[in-house]
Amino acid sequence: MKRIFPILILAAFLAAFLAACTSNPKPADTVATEEGTQADKMEWWRDARFGMFIHWGLYAIPAGEYQGEPTPHNNAEWIMDHMDIPIAEYEKFAGQFNPISFDADQWVSIAKDAGMKYIIITSKHHDGFCLWDSELSDYDVMDATPFKRDILEELAEACDKQGITLGFYHSIMDWHHPQAQSIWEPNYNKGRKDTVGNPEFPLYFENYLKPQVKELMEKYPTRVIWFDGEWIPAYTTEMGKEMYDFITEMDPEMIVNNRVDKGRQGMAGMNANGNFAGDFGTPEQEIPDTGLEGEDWESCMTMNDTWGFKKSDLNWKSDTVLIRNLVDIASKGGNFLLNVGPTAEGLIPAASIERLMVMGNWMKLNGEAIYGTQASPYAKPDWGRYTRKAGKVYVHVFHWPADGKLLVESGEQSFETAHLLDGKEELAMERVTNGMLIDVPAAAPDGIASVLVLE
């Protein structure tokens, strides 16, 4: 089992050691790397930096509206809870689930063309509905719907064909399974809380949740298990640690998020001090203010305001916000898991595809400054961000200098050359008191984020 705590001791020692060596840590070639299998296991994930989150299930049918009423909250995938839909009523959506436009190859191509390296899809969300042919349940796409195709199998084949890594989001909380259903307070209404938990939850954990995770690992080439719904009182930290060991004893290379255990501090997503299982932290709808030394983490965010498809949600983030979020996250040493919520027909919304195409065009020119990079060696400037690789610092400029002079406050760190990442022309550069002053062209190469490389 991986413990974050020893890594923190190592990180503190390394930070003290580096501080003793220099007031300004040098680019990555001098940053000590963690030894052992954890570094090996996390290598592809750390290099990937950018993935697609897919929230898809029965909730795409109501799409944020039930009996003519819009859901009162953002997250359309919570409609069963937010609109107090009885289980027997919600189950009827399964009989309507027939996404004949679903094309796994197309979905994977959209992710790949956006520059994404991995996909995390909801194998089962809180509503308990399974997107694969599970031996442990008939509440799945093969037995309960007219569609009768194994969605996860088709997606796994498409990912394999296109070289994209596949992972599963799997909800611990389950509103459908009789031994996991929450025992709601009487007369509940909006915002009800599951206070007591189902007394049979340990049986659900042992005889359903663990076996389904094992089934997913045995049936599909998944490399990440992305747990969620760990906050319920019935799920204990002992169960979390047992689940992490269960998974990693079956497959030591499996990457598991920190929501497998109970250490997460709300939407900030990082673990409290102490011994909690999980390989990376999970900030949600937010980006940490700074890098988190010695920690792996991934910010997951929606492109509008909902994870599951919601027909009324047109509050789409701009290309600029999305690309700058990706740069900001990478500059702090994190991964960006950006969500799409496909429709009941099996289509990724056009507004999502449009934004992903713009991100992909930017990544085609600038991906070198994102993939395989580490957190910035310097404090973030007002005008942009930094990322780094061994012997290089990438300068991401959001706000291009009007006077053609760009000050990189690299302290005592000097560089020999400066180039625009998409050009060969060397830029004039001089050392000044607190860093390097670079002569840049009058016009910014990219209106959202222009990248220079210093060596």
Binders of ligand FHN: how many residues, by CB under 6 A? 7
Smaller CB separation from ligand FHN, 78 or 371? 78
Order of strands, sheet of 255-256, starting from the edge strand that comes earlier in the sequence: 255-256, 224-228, 165-171, 118-124, 50-54, 335-340, 298-301
Q: Which residue is nearest to ligand FHN (CB)?
A: 307
Angle at 363 between CA 362 and CA 367, to 5 degrees: 135
User: Does residue number 300 form part of the binding site for ligand FHN (CB under 6 A)?
Assistant: yes
> Cβ of residue 228: shortest distance to ligand FHN, in angstroms?
5
Site membership for ligand FHN, residue 77 (CB under 6 A): yes
- Taking the complex as a whole, the smallest distance from the CB of residue 141 to ligand FHN amounts, in Å, to 19
Of 194, 242, 284, 328, the one binding ligand FHN (CB under 6 A) is 284
Q: State which residue, 74 or 366, has the beta carbon closest to ligand FHN.
A: 74
Of the pair 262, 396, the CB lying nearest ligand FHN is at: 262
Between residues 175 and 244, which has the closer beta carbon with respect to ligand FHN?
175
Q: Which is nearer to ligand FHN, 299 or 410 (CB)?
A: 299
Q: Is 75 in the site for ligand FHN (CB under 6 A)?
A: yes
Binding to ligand FHN by residue 298, rule CB under 6 A?
A: no
Which among 74-82, 135-143, 413-421, 437-445 is the span making contact with ligand FHN, rule CB under 6 A? 74-82
CA atoms of 48 and 59, how far apart (whole Å): 30
335 binds ligand FHN (CB under 6 A): no
Q: What is the DSSP string of 334-395?
A: -EEEEEE---TTS---HHHHHHHHHHHHHHHHHGGGTTT-B--SSPPPTTEEEEEETTEEEE
| Interface with ligand FHN, residue 194, by CB under 6 A | no
Q: Closer to ligand FHN by CB, 304 or 366: give it.
A: 304
Q: Give Cα separations from 358 to 113, 234, 354 (angstroms).
A: 10, 43, 7
- Beta-sheet pairing, 50-54 with 118-124: parallel
Q: Enumerate residues 6+ apart whose C-beta is below 8 A from 418.
A: 426, 427, 429, 436, 438, 452, 453, 454, 455
Helix (H) / strand (E) containing 38: helix 37-48
Task: Tell the burial category of 358 from Cβ atoms under 10 Å away from its Cβ (0-12, 13-18, 19+).
Answer: middle
**Binding ligand FHN by CB under 6 A: which of 81, 174, 228, 296?**
228
**Residue closer to ligand FHN (CB basis): 77 or 328:** 77
Residues that bind ligand FHN (CB under 6 A): 75, 77-78, 228, 284, 300, 307
